[in-house]
């Protein structure tokens, strides 16, 4: 530990050895050598749980928006295609009964062509929506399940591991005297930017800031309480670490429960999630598409109303009846 102390002396308040010393292992290292930076471990782990929570929340919203936009776009396209089909049937019926009303017939055809163009535009947008929702349905459900699994584990560790920090701030002793609990207040932990490389986004560049793609939390200098750590060890082994043992390593406590060592494989957690959560169009893009589809639908309805009005202006009621249409 002397090597760490010498190399991290400049960080007088918290000992944050980003990259660590080669002698201490490959991961980004946070330790409690000066008994002052236990709060920093909270910042690092809270960063991971927050990033997973944001991935899950954004992914869930993307999936819901994709489904909602798909349903609306599908309904609109079906309506437009149905009305266009009915209009085509009308044109075929009345064309032979127009007599000297050729100008109106040309106008009807013009309206029909305009409706066809609008249907084609909406069809193109719907194709993009359909492609997006298919990708989301394929990749996001499993990714959401995985993100939630890791979030639950890391959030549980973040939530339970820091009773010690509050006890230290309250002035208690390592024996966890009763007065410690009476004086504990909510923990306010302002976190420095360097403790959360994933604050803005989760991508390969951000993950590379973790040395060898992992984070090591080592607490072994009296910063934790035996009365907290022993039950915590049992809790993690039967819950958080057990459920995510492919990405979390929790070493046995030593010194009668006054230490712990946790390794989080950050790259293994987040790396496989990047592509699935990028699948499909983002909500902002989809909402723009459905806005365009709605606008085109409105234009279509105006043209269709003009088409219908012109039909009724032409005295071909008998022909309309024989078409057996609901136009």
SS3 324: coil
Residues 244-281 have pLDDT tens digits of 888 888 876 565 556 678 899 999 999 999 999 999 99
Whether 44 and 160 have beta carbons less than 8 Å apart is answered as no
The pLDDT of residue 23 is 43
- Measure the CA–CA gap between 102 and 108, rounded to whole angstroms: 10
Helix (H) or strand (E) holding 31: strand 28-31
- Measure the CA–CA gap between 100 and 77, rounded to whole angstroms: 35
Average pLDDT score over the chain: 78
Residues 146-155 have pLDDT tens digits of 999 999 988 8
The one-character DSSP state at 213 is G
Residues 28-86 have pLDDT tens digits of 888 766 555 667 778 888 899 999 999 999 999 999 999 999 999 999 999 999 999 99
In a domain, 327, yes or no: no
State the alpha helices, DSSP H only, in the chain: 2-7, 38-94, 102-160, 163-169, 178-183, 204-207, 226-238, 240-243, 266-278, 283-313, 317-322
User: By residue range, what is the domain housing residue 95?
Assistant: 2-322
CA-CA-CA-CA torsion sign (224, 225, 231, 234): positive
Domain count along the chain: 1
- Measure the CA–CA gap between 238 and 185, rounded to whole angstroms: 29
> Which of 116, 113, 129 is CA-nearest to residue 74?
129
Q: Considering the chain, what percentage of its residues have pLDDT values greater than 90?
A: 45
Whole-structure pTM value = 0.76
Cα–Cα distances (Å) from 316 to 64, 66, 99, 308, in that order, read: 47, 44, 11, 12
Cα–Cα distances (Å) from 11 to 3, 5, 52, 186, 237, in that order, read: 14, 10, 29, 25, 33
């Amino acid at each position: 530990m002397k090597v760490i102390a010498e190399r991290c002396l400049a960080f007088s308040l918290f000992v944050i050895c980003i990259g660590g010393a080669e002698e201490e292992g490959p991961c980004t290292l946070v330790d409690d050598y000066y008994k002052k930076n236990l709060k920093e471990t909270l910042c690092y782990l809270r960063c991971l749980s927050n990033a997973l929570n944001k991935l899950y929340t954004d992914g869930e919203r993307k999936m819901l928006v994709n489904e909602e936009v798909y349903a609306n776009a599908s309904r609109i396209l079906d309506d437009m295609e149905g009305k266009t089909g009915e209009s085509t049937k009308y044109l075929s019926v009345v064309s032979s009964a127009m007599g000297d009303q050729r100008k109106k017939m040309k106008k009807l055809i013009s309206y029909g062509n305009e409706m066809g163009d609008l249907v084609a535009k909406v069809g193109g947008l719907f194709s993009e929506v359909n492609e997006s929702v298919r990708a989301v349905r394929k990749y996001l459900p499993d990714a959401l399940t995985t993100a939630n699994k890791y979030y639950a584990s890391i959030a549980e560790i973040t939530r339970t591991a820091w009773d010690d920090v509050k006890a230290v701030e309250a002035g208690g002793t390592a024996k966890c005297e009763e007065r410690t609990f009476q004086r504990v207040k909510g923990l306010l932990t302002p976190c420095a930017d360097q403790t959360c490389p994933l604050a803005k986004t989760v991508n390969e560049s951000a993950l590379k800031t973790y040395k060898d793609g992992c984070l090591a939390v080592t607490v072994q200098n009296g910063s934790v309480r035996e009365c907290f750590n022993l039950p915590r060890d049992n809790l993690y082994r039967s819950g958080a670490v057990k459920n995510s043992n492919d990405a979390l390593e929790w070493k046995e406590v030593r010194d009668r429960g006054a230490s712990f060592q946790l390794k989080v494989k950050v790259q293994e957690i987040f790396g496989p999630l990047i592509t699935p959560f990028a699948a499909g169009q983002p909500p902002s893009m989809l909402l723009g598409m459905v806005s365009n589809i709605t606008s085109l639908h409105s234009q279509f309805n105006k043209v269709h109303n003009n088409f219908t009005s012109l039909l009724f202006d032409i005295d071909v009621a008998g022909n309309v009846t024989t078409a057996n249409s609901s136009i």
